[in-house]
Amino acid sequence: MTIRLLRTLVAISDAKTFSAAADVVHVTHAAVSQQMQTLEADLGVALFDRSTRTPELTPVAHQIVAKARKLIADYDNLVPSVLGDGGLSGVIRLGTLRTTLTGLTPRAMAILKARFPEIGLRIRPGLTSTLLADIERGNLDAAIITKPHLMPVGMQFRELAKETMHLITAIEETDDDPLTLLQERPFIRFDRTAVLGTLIDNWILSKRLRVNETMELDSPEAIASMVYSNLGVSIVPSLTVQPHDAVPVKRLALGDDAPTRTLGLVHAKNQIKTKAIDAIFDALLQVITAERSGPAISTL
């Protein structure tokens, strides 16, 4: 018998069906069934009445569920009960989008380290989907992501900023019509597997534009460098926090219906390093607030 099997049993009790429980514990229906067969063998009791169309918990199973809830709560509280500082002196594994690596993330982490020098930092860049998967696997404590259409179960998303997309071109470009430029100039696409890339693609489709794609990159710095060298145009977010050494490019508004991404900090709802996560969020907000109150910068 393991905590994992007990979690699945409790999920079935709460969700009422094996299929719904499978979504909660992030496994297949077949895996849930196999886990329950294993748990019944371990305990030596029947947990389900399988004579009904939908298996129902037996009376003894209801009693086991009640005990399991307490065992799971005690297990989950094992580390927090001894980690009294909420992770302020441990190592924080933070995932971050590449679009924040040269602006928001380093400035916020500098504030964090100044306040809590005992915190160790491990930074891992990646796309939103990869970072979310790493949090689910326990490989990351938190991540700065673009809010996806659907947030995985068990995740808490804390909004930081909304960033509107704009078109970027070389400084020497004379045409100021973004729709014309998208159709007549080579298009440098942001990685379409990223949430950001999907937002951009959907907007282009909504406008029924035909673009001449020449590159697909996942690095904002690389995209800006290509545009700066007059190799094409691109659509990128208007970063809330600008890099210190941003490449100079021309920026054109896409209109009132321009795509917008929501940037935020995400972590598991049962995250035990609560104080450290709060400190990271506060540092990120401080940088964003300071940037908004400063002079506007017209580069990527």
Instruction: Give the domain ranges of the chain.
Output: 3-76, 91-161+262-293, 163-260
Do 91-161+262-293 and 163-260 show the same overall fold?
yes
pLDDT at 128 > cutoff 90: yes
pLDDT at 300 > cutoff 50: no
Quick one: fold of 3-76? Arc Repressor Mutant, subunit A (1.10.10)
Average pLDDT of the residues in 124-149:
91
Helix or strand run (H / E) with residue 297: none
What CATH superfamily is the domain 163-260? Answer: Periplasmic binding protein-like II (3.40.190.10)
pLDDT at 56 > cutoff 90: no
Q: What is the pLDDT of residues 149-188, one digit of tens each?
A: 888 888 999 999 999 999 999 999 999 999 999 999 999 9
8-state DSSP, 32: H
Average pLDDT of the residues in 253-276:
90
Report the DSSP pairing between strands 260-268 and 234-237. Answer: unpaired
pLDDT at 264 > cutoff 90: yes
91-161+262-293 is a CATH 3.40.50.300 domain:
no
User: For 129, phi and psi rounded to 5 degrees?
Assistant: -60, -40
Which band of pLDDT confidence, cut at 50, 70 and 90, is reported for residue 296? very low
- The reported pLDDT for the residue numbered 294 is 66
User: For 154, phi and psi rounded to 5 degrees?
Assistant: 90, 5
Which band of pLDDT confidence, cut at 50, 70 and 90, is reported for residue 220? confident
pLDDT at 30 > cutoff 60: yes
103-117, 236-250, 270-284 — which one is most confidently predicted on average?
Answer: 103-117
Average pLDDT of the residues in 117-142:
90
pLDDT at 88 > cutoff 80: no
- What is d(CA 54, CA 51) in angstroms, rounded to the nearest whole number? 8
